[in-house]
């Protein structure tokens, strides 16, 4: 699909910025990737491979051509993001839509320094952005309906499934659910109920595979809401409801166990095993998405 008329800028060339640039290049959108760190820009160029030929790279926001939309995808820090979106606004014209790829910082907080917050909207992509279909579209309290409509139109043209939230809550939908699940996972590890490998196995091959085919609500319909209620009544008092991140997670991060990128998180990772895992994951994700899209949700609203 060619999108000759669309021009985009992605600010931040890290993990997400690079797959966002790939998504644009794959769909014929003229994209410029901006990052203040020239080394990150070079790494992004390498990771884009043949798609780098369709991509411009820059270390500052001065734009040669005014884009239709700019996606802010810099470090997940509200102060940094506030400054970056204000800089973006100063460099584009009134018609440009400004999007933030924050994972869950409230849109009004990021856009608090904007002159025209009505053209600012959250578009939360998932990693890798060129493959995972859903994008959470999150309006702030000043975002105009037309901005949401335009953003959804472009996302659809990029082959995405935009899902619009009615109101902005911290963490949006996906990260609230992901963190609720992880709070319980970490609690089970801390209590010594199960080892990491067994926990991953149980979740991946039970509720994991099922949820690839049915959303949680559809799945519960299929199981029976009365049964769900009976379980909820005795289980909720026993579930982890802590207000602070788990001590185990704090401990791992303090020890430098940051995950695959440093060779150790819950598991140990070598460079080769990580590269193999990531390559297989991209391929398997594509196959699962194809399968999931084949059978639509059978329920009626």
> Could you list the residues that contact ligand NAD (CB under 6 A)?
11-17, 34-37, 40, 73-76, 80, 84, 101-103, 125-127
The encoded tokens of residue 16 equal: 């997400």
- CB-based contacts of 160, cutoff 8 Å, min separation 6: 125, 133, 134, 135
In the bound state with ligand NAD, the residue whose beta carbon lies nearer, of 9 and 185, is 9
Q: Would you say 22 is a known binding-site residue? A: no
DSSP per position, 195-246: -HHHHHHHHIIIIIHHHHHS-HHHHHHHH-HHHHHHHHHHHGGGS---SS--
Q: How far is the CB of 44 from ligand NAD (least distance, A)?
A: 8
Dihedral angle computed from the Cα positions of residues 145, 151, 153 and 159, in that order, rounded to the nearest 10 degrees: -150
The encoded tokens of residue 154 equal: 């472009």
What is the C-alpha end-to-end distance of the chain, expressed in Å? Answer: 32
What 3-state class would DSSP assign to 120? strand
- CB-based contacts of 246, cutoff 8 Å, min separation 6: 183, 186, 187, 190
Q: Would you say 44 is a known binding-site residue? A: no
Q: Would you say 127 is a known binding-site residue? A: yes
Q: How far is the CB of 185 from ligand NAD (least distance, A)?
A: 18
C-alpha span between 80 and 248 (Å, rounded): 28
Q: How far is the CB of 72 from ligand NAD (least distance, A)?
A: 8
C-alpha span between 35 and 61 (Å, rounded): 9
**With contact defined as beta carbons under 8 Å apart, do 77 and 95 qualify?**
no
Q: Would you say 72 is a known binding-site residue? A: no
What 3-state class would DSSP assign to 103? coil
Q: Would you say 12 is a known binding-site residue? A: yes
Of all residues in the shown chain, the one whose CB is closest to ligand NAD is 14
Q: How far is the CB of 86 from ligand NAD (least distance, A)?
A: 11
In the bound state with ligand NAD, the residue whose beta carbon lies nearer, of 208 and 299, is 208
Q: Would you say 76 is a known binding-site residue? A: yes
In the bound state with ligand NAD, the residue whose beta carbon lies nearer, of 118 and 175, is 175
Q: How far is the CB of 174 from ligand NAD (least distance, A)?
A: 9
Q: How far is the CB of 11 from ligand NAD (least distance, A)?
A: 5
In the bound state with ligand NAD, the residue whose beta carbon lies nearer, of 80 and 249, is 80
The encoded tokens of residue 12 equal: 């931040």
Q: Would you say 261 is a known binding-site residue? A: yes
In the bound state with ligand NAD, the residue whose beta carbon lies nearer, of 103 and 214, is 103
In the bound state with ligand NAD, the residue whose beta carbon lies nearer, of 23 and 214, is 23
- Alpha-carbon distances, residue 11 vs 2, 14, 31, 178, 269 (angstroms): 23, 9, 10, 26, 30
**With contact defined as beta carbons under 8 Å apart, do 28 and 3 qualify?**
yes
In the bound state with ligand NAD, the residue whose beta carbon lies nearer, of 75 and 278, is 75
Q: Would you say 13 is a known binding-site residue? A: yes
Q: How far is the CB of 227 from ligand NAD (least distance, A)?
A: 34
C-alpha span between 142 and 152 (Å, rounded): 17
Which residues sit in the known binding site for NAD(+)?
Answer: 12-17, 35, 76, 81, 103, 127, 261
Which residues sit in the known binding site?
Answer: 12-17, 35, 76, 81, 103, 127, 261
């Amino acid at each position: 699909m060619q999108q000759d008329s669309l021009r985009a800028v992605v600010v931040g060339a890290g993990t997400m910025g690079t797959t966002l640039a790939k998504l644009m290049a794959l769909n014929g959108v003229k994209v410029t990737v901006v990052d203040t760190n020239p080394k990150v820009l070079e790494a992004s160029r390498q990771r884009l491979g043949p798609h780098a030929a369709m991509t411009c790279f820059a270390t500052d926001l001065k734009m040669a051509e005014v884009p239709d939309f700019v996606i802010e995808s810099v470090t997940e820090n509200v102060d940094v993001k506030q400054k970056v979106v204000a800089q973006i606004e100063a460099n584009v014209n009134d018609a440009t839509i400004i999007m933030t790829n924050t994972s869950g910082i409230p849109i009004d907080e990021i856009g608090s320094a904007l002159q025209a917050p009505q053209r600012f909207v959250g578009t939360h992509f998932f990693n890798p952005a060129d493959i995972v279909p859903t994008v959470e579209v999150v309006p702030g309290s000043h975002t105009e309906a037309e901005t949401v409509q335009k953003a959804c139109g472009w996302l659809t043209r990029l082959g995405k499934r935009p899902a619009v939230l009615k109101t902005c809550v911290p963490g949006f939908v996906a990260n609230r659910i992901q963190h609720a699940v992880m709070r319980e996972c970490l609690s089970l590890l801390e209590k010594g109920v199960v080892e990491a490998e067994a926990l991953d196995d149980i979740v991946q091959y039970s509720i994991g595979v099922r949820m690839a085919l049915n959303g949680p609500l559809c799945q519960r319909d299929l199981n029976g809401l009365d049964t769900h209620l009976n379980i909820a009544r005795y289980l909720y008092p026993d579930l982890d409801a802590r207000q602070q991140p788990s001590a185990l997670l704090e401990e791992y991060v303090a020890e430098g166990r940051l995950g695959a990128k440093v060779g150790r998180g819950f598991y140990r990772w070598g460079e080769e095993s990580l590269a193999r895992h990531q390559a297989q994951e991209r391929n398997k994700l594509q196959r699962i998405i194809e399968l999931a899209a084949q059978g639509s949700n059978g329920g009626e609203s």
